[in-house]
Amino acid sequence: MSLIDEIKLRKTFGIVSHPDAGKTTLTEKLLLFGGAIQVAGAVKSNKIKKAATSDFMDIERQRGISVATSVMAFNYRDKKINILDTPGHKDFAEDTYRTLTAVDSAIVVIDVAKGVEEQTENLVGVCKRRNTPMIVFINKLDREGKDGFDLLDEVEAKLDMSVCPLSWPVGMGQRFRGVYSLYDNKLILFSAHGKQSEEDTLVIEDLNDGILDEKVGQSLADTLREEVKLIKDVYPEFDQEMYEEGLLNPVFFGSAINNFGVKELLDCFVDIAPNPLPRETEQRMVAPTEEKFTGFVFKIHANMDPKHRDRIAFLRITSGTFERNTNYLHVRQEKKMKFSNPTAFMAAKKSVIDHAYPGDIIGLYDSGNFKIGDALTEGEVLHFKGIPSFSPEQFRFVNNANPMKSKQLQKGIDQLMDEGVAQLFVKEDSARKIIGTVGALQFDVIQYRLEHEYGASCSYEPINIHKALWLSWEDEVAFKEFAKRRRNNMAKDKDGNAVFLADSAWSLNTVMENHPEISFHDSSEF
């Protein structure tokens, strides 16, 4: 099979949502349809290694299935589908942001009762910055929730989306009777507890057909007719090109826990979702169809077994064919490397592979060579763009609790920062180290891992920081004067970039007003 044929077979996407919107359940049902798992609940029960039990693992359990496998592959309708799981909990948001750099499209899950929630807004914002095509799945229709049109208004207003309903609910909660697919003019009748069968699907060319009244009752049938007419009058028709450009967002309704509406979502996804897309580098755009192999590391996952300190680097293949036991250039380190046991992921199982193609995610066993964002190529020097570090929200001084283990502490902090667990800032005036995270749980994670993986102990000390902002400037003299005057607020990140540590929102606004010659950025990528 040619490279182009292999590319056409692949769809790589992420599922994003606020915690508890049903992301894990939807992922599980998709895997069931693909035959990757046979039993509902397998994803949840398999989410962690039983060999290690500790407080840290208890914390990690809150991440759900992404702990054991952040990549799940399955075959459906002759396509190879790669799901990248993204932790919903905001304390692990940075992991999610980076994972989204490796997808070509996304499915956004929204709880019908709660509507658009904070973390959904954040994650959709990340997707929109990359013009990632997104499909919306409004979940839990078997429960009482918000009116469908109110939800569409909320999605448009809060997520800045242009929506295009491709299915529509018939009733809700106790009156929920099914979903009408505007995508292929079918009525799918609801049967609780996942007992949906082919017999529950009716093709309805004309909604005025009396069979609709017979199946759902006259009241719900009349309401459906009115609402579908309104949808066709108010909302745009589906346009493939606009969807692929991130300008139009199909919306589906269903109940993942009851396995309802999921097949319709998956069938449409397979039809419309893009195949592997080009990726931007600082040097040029890389097309998936190029003969030569390229790829980038978007996630590093440490082995939680204390007996094995190896890590797995997750590599997204962007062009060409990756081959086992072949020398490739590690661009940052400027050295050749080859990999004897690259792994692919089928649900929770890892298997050694000989070849991989654009869109595939492979695991490379890593002894500490890789950092987030590293590129592998056949020799060309490329630096992939779009793998950001976001401004942390919580900050603490980190102190060495065991002076005899200074080297171990330094090594541990360096390696954990390379993994993207958190961010390190070193103050200019005192050289004290500050760790910044997006959530409080990460401090416990770091403390545990330093002790159990590196034999080092650390303690934390509170520090009053409102925000960390990366700086850019054109006038070097003006910047040096600014840095001198604001020395107490100046720091460097792990790559030596200048960072401003603001005490409060008020002081930040004052500094920004007084120094228009300095630009302040939420992300290290600007």
Tokens 């990460």 belong to 442
Nearest one of 2, 495, 473, 494 to 486, comparing CA atoms: 473
Tokens 């036991």 belong to 325
Whether residue 251 has pLDDT greater than 70: yes
Say if residues 378 and 291 touch (Cβ distance below 8 Å).
no
Question: Would you state the pLDDT for residue 60?
Answer: 47
Question: Would you state the pLDDT for residue 63?
Answer: 45
Whether residue 378 has pLDDT greater than 50: yes
Strand order in the sheet with 167-170: 167-170, 178-181, 186-189, 201-203
To the nearest whole number, what is the mean pLDDT of the chain? 84
Residue 165 half-sphere exposure toward CB, CA atoms < 13 A: 27
Nearest one of 149, 159, 167 to 254, comparing CA atoms: 167
Question: Would you state the pLDDT for residue 253?
Answer: 94
Domain 279-377 in the same topology as domain 15-61+106-272: yes
Q: Which CATH class is domain 394-521?
A: alpha beta
| pLDDT category of residue 66 using cuts at 50, 70 and 90 | very low
CATH of 279-377, one of 3.40.50.300, 3.30.70.3270, 3.40.50.1240, 3.30.2320.50: 3.40.50.300
Say if residues 211 and 202 touch (Cβ distance below 8 Å).
yes
Say if residues 37 and 422 touch (Cβ distance below 8 Å).
no
The more confidently predicted of residues 51 and 354 is 354
Tokens 């490739």 belong to 328
Strand order in the sheet with 335-337: 335-337, 328-330, 375-377, 294-302, 311-319, 361-366, 343-346, 349-352
Question: Would you state the pLDDT for residue 65?
Answer: 35
Question: Would you state the pLDDT for residue 27?
Answer: 83
Nearest one of 271, 142, 136, 261 to 200, comparing CA atoms: 261
Nearest one of 156, 114, 161, 153 to 134, comparing CA atoms: 161
Question: Would you state the pLDDT for residue 58?
Answer: 43
Question: Would you state the pLDDT for residue 337?
Answer: 95
Nearest one of 134, 131, 105, 127 to 275, comparing CA atoms: 105
| pLDDT category of residue 260 using cuts at 50, 70 and 90 | confident
Whether residue 93 has pLDDT greater than 80: no
Q: How many residues does the chain have?
A: 526
Q: What percent of the chain has a predicted confidence (pLDDT) above 90?
A: 51
What are the structural domain ranges in the chain?
A: 15-61+106-272, 279-377, 394-521
| pLDDT category of residue 302 using cuts at 50, 70 and 90 | low
Question: Would you state the pLDDT for residue 489?
Answer: 96
| pLDDT category of residue 484 using cuts at 50, 70 and 90 | very high
Question: Would you state the pLDDT for residue 329?
Answer: 96
Whether residue 59 has pLDDT greater than 90: no
Mean pLDDT for 329-356 is 84
485-517 confidence digits (pLDDT tens): 999 999 999 889 999 999 999 999 999 999 999
183-242 confidence digits (pLDDT tens): 888 888 876 555 445 556 778 878 888 888 888 889 998 999 999 999 999 999 999 999
Mean pLDDT for 125-151 is 91
| pLDDT category of residue 445 using cuts at 50, 70 and 90 | confident
- Report the 3 state secondary structure along 314-369: EEEEEECCEECCCCEEECCCCEEECCCCCEEEECCEEEECCEECCCCEEEEEECCC
Question: Would you state the pLDDT for residue 91?
Answer: 58
Mean pLDDT for 273-291 is 94
Whether residue 69 has pLDDT greater than 60: no
Nearest one of 326, 323, 273 to 105, comparing CA atoms: 273
Say if residues 130 and 150 touch (Cβ distance below 8 Å).
no
Q: Which of 73-82, 392-401, 483-492 has the lowest mean pLDDT?
A: 73-82
Question: Would you state the pLDDT for residue 87?
Answer: 64
Say if residues 486 and 427 touch (Cβ distance below 8 Å).
no
Whether residue 51 has pLDDT greater than 70: no
Say if residues 361 and 316 touch (Cβ distance below 8 Å).
yes
Whether residue 103 has pLDDT greater than 80: yes
Q: What is the CA radius of gyration of the chain?
A: 25
User: Distance (Å, rounded) from C-alpha 120 to C-alpha 168?
Assistant: 21
User: Distance (Å, rounded) from C-alpha 439 to C-alpha 93?
Assistant: 8
Mean pLDDT for 164-193 is 85
Whether residue 259 has pLDDT greater than 50: yes
Highest mean pLDDT range out of 203-207, 293-297, 342-346?
293-297
Say if residues 91 and 441 touch (Cβ distance below 8 Å).
yes
Question: Would you state the pLDDT for residue 303?
Answer: 52
Whether residue 147 has pLDDT greater than 70: yes
User: Distance (Å, rounded) from C-alpha 451 to C-alpha 449?
Assistant: 5
Give the CATH fold of the 15-61+106-272 domain.
Answer: Rossmann fold (3.40.50)
Whether residue 39 has pLDDT greater than 60: no
- What residue type is assigned to position 447 of the chain? Q
